[in-house]
């Protein structure tokens, strides 16, 4: 099954509203000369902005066919959760994606595997596409615990999805982001990233069946840039990239789109 490639920018806590609109206008300008024929081979484009930048960002991004996503959400529909944001709130602003369980949220905000799994189900239940992040620390890698760690993180999500045959699990996106590769300039080798991506797909297959495993997209993240993105995408089980630093400038984001075009 042909899976649509996804190039997703995670802007983390960067950019004011004004700066995000400037990015969108620049990206529209860069992509304006593109023929429809050429655009066909491009990956699906997405940026995930901070909550404050989401209002009014969908329209300027549409000019370059770029989708909008949030970087987190709460699992409850509403309630006494000071400082949190619900699925309906981000959907209202035009988000079609949400990043869940990024390692920075797991690390600094104590998000557990169970919480991430719950949020994933809520996102799917509300027709949002969750990008669930998984990844091992340097210590886990050096101790040979990479596959165990990834399997536990992915397993927590699949265990919840298994209980709900009515949600469209095919929409799930899993981003493999080794923590030691995030913002460090170090990347996993494409071969190592493929080993993990393939194992994730095998695990999805074992738990949710062939059809879901064929459809689920697995991304690589961690120091991806225009110069190395094509290497990762040449691997059979890597369907795109989740990019931090190199997604902040429109030129660099557009170069990554060009370099991942088929
Ligand atoms: P960098 O691309 O800056 O390494 O960040 C990766 C990341 O955390 C994306 O979610």
Q: Which of 74, 102, 140, 194 is catalytic?
A: 102
Burial of 256 (0-12, 13-18, 19+ CB in 10 A): buried
Q: Identify which of 48, 182, 187 to mutate to test ligand 1's pocket (most ligand atoms within 8 A of the CB).
A: 182
Res 209: pLDDT: 96
Strands 217-221 and 240-243: parallel
Low pLDDT (below 50) residues in the chain: none
Range of the domain at 252: 6-260
Q: Classify residue 245: in a domain, yes or no.
A: yes
Closest ligand 1 atom number to CA of residue 102 = 10
Specify whether 177 is catalytic.
yes
Alpha helices in 6-93 (DSSP H): 17-31, 36-39, 58-62, 87-92
Total number of domains in the chain:
1
15: left (phi over 0), alpha (psi -120 to 50) or beta: left
Rounded CA-CA distance 65/32 in Å is: 10
Rounded CA-CA distance 86/115 in Å is: 14
Specify whether 25 is catalytic.
no
Q: Classify residue 129: in a domain, yes or no.
A: yes
Q: Classify residue 14: in a domain, yes or no.
A: yes
Are 43 and 253 in contact by the 8 Å Cβ rule? The answer is: no
Q: Classify residue 197: in a domain, yes or no.
A: yes
- Please work out whether the CB of residue 243 comes within 6 Å of at least one atom of ligand 1: yes
Alpha carbon distances (Å) from 182 to 52, 88, 132, 179, 194: 24, 30, 16, 5, 17
Rounded CA-CA distance 187/183 in Å is: 9
- Backbone angles phi and psi of 132, in degrees to 5: -90, 125
Which string of DSSP letters, residue by residue, matches 169-217? GGG-EEEE--GGGTTSS----HHHHHHHHHHHHHHHHHHH-HHHHHH-E
Q: Classify residue 55: in a domain, yes or no.
A: yes
Q: What tens digit of pLDDT does each residue of 112-155 get?
A: 999 999 999 999 999 999 999 999 999 999 999 999 999 999 99
Q: Classify residue 26: in a domain, yes or no.
A: yes
Q: Classify residue 184: in a domain, yes or no.
A: yes
Nearest C-alpha neighbor of 160 from the set 211, 218, 102, 114: 114
Rounded CA-CA distance 48/247 in Å is: 10
Neighbours of 11 (CB within 10 A): 21
Q: Classify residue 238: in a domain, yes or no.
A: yes
Mean pLDDT across the chain: 95
| CATH number of the domain enclosing 233 | 3.20.20.70
């Amino acid at each position: 099954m042909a899976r649509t490639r996804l190039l997703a920018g995670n802007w983390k806590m960067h950019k004011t509203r004004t700066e995000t609109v400037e990015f969108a206008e620049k990206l529209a300008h860069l992509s304006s000369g593109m023929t429809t024929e050429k655009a066909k081979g491009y990956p699906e484009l997405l940026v995930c902005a901070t909550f404050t930048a989401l209002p009014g960002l969908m329209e300027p991004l549409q000019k370059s066919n770029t989708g909008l996503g949030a970087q987190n959400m709460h699992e409850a529909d509403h309630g006494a959760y000071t400082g949190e944001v619900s699925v309906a709130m981000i959907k209202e602003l035009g988000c079609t994606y949400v990043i869940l369980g990024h390692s920075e949220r797991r690390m600094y905000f104590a998000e557990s595997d169970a919480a991430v799994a719950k949020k994933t189900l809520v996102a799917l239940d509300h027709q949002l596409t969750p990008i669930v992040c998984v990844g091992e620390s340097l210590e886990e890698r050096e101790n040979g615990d990479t596959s165990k760690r990834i399997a536990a993180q992915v397993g927590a999500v699949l265990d919840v999805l298994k209980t709900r045959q009515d949600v469209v699990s095919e929409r799930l996106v899993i981003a493999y982001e080794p923590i030691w590769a995030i913002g460090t300039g170090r990347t996993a080798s494409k071969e190592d990233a493929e080993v993990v991506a393939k194992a994730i797909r095998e695990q999805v297959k074992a738990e949710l069946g062939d059809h879901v495993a064929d459809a689920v997209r697995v991304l690589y993240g961690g120091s991806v840039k225009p110069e190395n993105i094509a290497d990762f995408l040449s691997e059979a089980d890597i369907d795109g990239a989740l990019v931090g630093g190199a997604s902040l400038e429109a030129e660099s984001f557009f170069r990554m789109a060009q370099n991942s075009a088929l």
